[in-house]
Amino acid sequence: MSAVDTVGPQGVPQLQAQVEQIIAEARKQGASACEVAVSVEQGLSTTVRQGEVETVEFNRDQGFGITLYVGQRKGSASTSASGDAAIRETVAAALAIAKHASEDECAGLADAGLMARELPSLDLYHAWSITPEQAIEQALSCEAAAFAADSRIKNADGTTLNTHQGCRVYGNSHGFVSGYASTRHSLSCVMIAEADGQMQRDYWYDVNRQGELLADAASIGRRATERAVSRLGARPVPTCEVPVLFAAELAGGLFGSFLAAISGGNLYRKSSFLEGTLGQQLFPEWLKLDERPHIPRALGSAAFDGDGLATYAKSFVERGELLSYVLGTYSGRKLGMPSTANSGGVHNLFVSHGDEDQKALLKRMGRGLLVTELMGQGLNMVTGDYSRGAGGYWVENGEIQFPVQEVTIAGNLRDMFKQIVAVGNDLELRSNIRTGSVLIERMTVAGS
């Protein structure tokens, strides 16, 4: 079988056979239960800078990871090899770890009756027959358009085209074995503007399951230039408490932090500021957060979770109220609750929104800060305290006045969630979290 075949849908049966072989070996060596994930991936990455080709990289990776159980004891091991000897040795290593591990009453596979049965086809695989020469040409045209768009663009920090395809199969000793092939293609451009002794950098990018549907290379370059040039003249602002508008490409991070706070691992470790909030109103009444895992070709779609359970559409928040945590089998057992089929995370989170675009939200905000860049981590998951370095634009009378840098925005996520005034209709489609710009009523902006 050719290399290209094994990373496409044609490779699924071959990897399924390998999973079954590994499970059989684990049983033979004395495991009472086991689960295996096998993957093969390959990709092409091309970076250009200043009209020159900087890198052309081709990668191909394969391997498997096994988790096996001896009663309530668990051991895990992984390898990038795939031969019979590697399988025997990796299973033996996992078994040795399990025999030395402590017993855990919550350890083990999900119940056999909960395994996914009928799995929808999600159309996640779209190979892009682009050659390295064509990839270089696209990246160069993207950068050239960026340089041509404004004379204040003096330098480039890399334009990269990536194309990736892979095949993954998961199986366990309950008899569940299933897999899928997927693709992901992207083009990104980072430019540096310079004027009056100041330099500013900014970027733009697109990502898609289908390479042919990526935004036009020249348009990505021009957008990167517009963003970099618009930041020239940036300065701090005096410390104040004002409304803050998170641009759509950053707003997903707020909801990503929310998902982390309602995820089983943080909850059973008692390290989340949202522990014990099930049934409480955490957001304004109009806000809804729901998961839609079966959207064809979407970046976050999946037919089954990391435990082999069928994914399904569900609401985490309705009318502002927290309806469900994010649980896999293990974290559910630790909390005495059923799995929500979210082992490995949430698939395609949708945030409800109104009919105002970002410009309309600026009008509604009146005076405050539009945030287009965040730096550092700055979240205490235990308390919810949030503090990030930020850049963006100062707004007066609903209009952008000047770019801002060297400020810190701070608040507490519980307060910030309740103070969401509106979510825009300028949806970010390049992410697993689909949200528009988010306007928060009040935060501390610390500057000069």
**What is the domain-level CATH number for residue 158?**
3.30.2290.10
Q: Is residue 270 a part of any domain in this protein? A: no
User: Do 137 and 152 share a structural domain?
Assistant: yes
CA 223 to chain centroid? 23
Domain boundary among 297, 321, 347: 347
Given a cut of 60, is residue 4 above it in pLDDT?
Answer: no
Nearest C-alpha neighbor of 31 from the set 39, 19, 23, 40: 23
User: Do 374 and 326 share a structural domain?
Assistant: no
241-284 per-position pLDDT tens digit:
999 999 999 999 999 999 999 999 999 999 999 999 999 999 99
Task: Say how far apart CA 384 and CA 415 lie, in whole Å.
Answer: 9
User: Do 71 and 32 share a structural domain?
Assistant: yes
Q: Is residue 3 a part of any domain in this protein? A: no
41-69 per-position pLDDT tens digit:
999 999 999 999 999 999 999 999 999 99
Task: Say how far apart CA 186 and CA 205 lie, in whole Å.
Answer: 7
Task: Say how far apart CA 103 and CA 107 lie, in whole Å.
Answer: 8
Given a cut of 60, is residue 343 above it in pLDDT?
Answer: yes
pLDDT, residue 7, reads: 86
Nearest C-alpha neighbor of 412 from the set 376, 379, 367, 375: 379
User: Do 384 and 290 share a structural domain?
Assistant: no
Q: Which domain holds residue 30?
A: 9-228
Q: Is residue 4 a part of any domain in this protein? A: no
Edge-to-edge strand ranges of the sheet holding 321-322: 321-322, 314-318, 289-291, 349-351, 433-434
The DSSP call for residue 199 is E
Given a cut of 50, is residue 2 above it in pLDDT?
Answer: no
pLDDT, residue 39, reads: 95
Across 113-120, average pLDDT: 92
51: left (phi over 0), alpha (psi -120 to 50) or beta: left
What is the number of H-type helices and E-type strands within the chain? 10, 17
Q: Is residue 415 a part of any domain in this protein? A: yes
Q: Is residue 136 a part of any domain in this protein? A: yes
User: Do 137 and 28 share a structural domain?
Assistant: yes
Task: Say how far apart CA 139 and CA 153 lie, in whole Å.
Answer: 17
User: Do 192 and 94 share a structural domain?
Assistant: yes
**Number of residues written out for the chain:** 448
User: Do 280 and 377 share a structural domain?
Assistant: no
Q: Is residue 266 a part of any domain in this protein? A: no
User: Do 246 and 98 share a structural domain?
Assistant: no
Given a cut of 60, is residue 294 above it in pLDDT?
Answer: yes
Across 329-343, average pLDDT: 98
> pLDDT band for position 5 (50/70/90)?
low
Bridge partner residues of 389 (DSSP): 375, 408
User: Do 173 and 306 share a structural domain?
Assistant: no
Q: Is residue 367 a part of any domain in this protein? A: yes
Determine how β-strand 438-446 pairs with β-strand 240-246: antiparallel
User: Do 166 and 133 share a structural domain?
Assistant: yes
User: Do 284 and 210 share a structural domain?
Assistant: no
Task: Say how far apart CA 434 and CA 436 lie, in whole Å.
Answer: 7
Does the pTM of the predicted model rise above 0.85? yes
Cα 85 to Cα 92, 206, 401: the distances in Å are 11, 42, 66
Q: How many CB atoms lie within 10 A of CB 105?
A: 8
User: Do 173 and 107 share a structural domain?
Assistant: yes
